[in-house]
Amino acid sequence: MIEFDVEVDATGLNCPLPLLRLKKALVGMASGDIVKVIATDPAAHLDVGVYADQAGHQIIEFVRKSDIQVFYIRKK
């Protein structure tokens, strides 16, 4: 179990809302903090992955269970 500082529940939301919720959460976080994002949008892994790479954040873990995707992301 990964410990996290903030949780973003984006279940039921479609693109681009999960990514926008993630960005909003990161604004209030300190460098090194971890955010857990829960999403059901099938394309979320693409959006979150590209954003994390471009912004320099680190995806610590990505888990897909059925139609739920869970990301643990460390803020740069």
Q: What is the pLDDT of residues 25-65, one digit of tens each?
A: 999 999 999 999 999 999 999 999 999 999 999 999 999 99
The answer to whether residue 1 scores a pLDDT higher than 90 is no
Quote the radius of gyration of the chain (alpha carbons, Å): 11
2 is catalytic: no
Residue among 4, 5, 13, 15 flagged as catalytic: 15
- CATH top-level class of 6-74: alpha beta
**Can you give the pTM of this predicted structure?**
0.95
Question: If residue 60 lies in a helix (H) or strand (E), which one and from where to where?
Answer: strand 58-65
Q: Are 37 and 70 in contact (CB under 8 A)?
A: yes
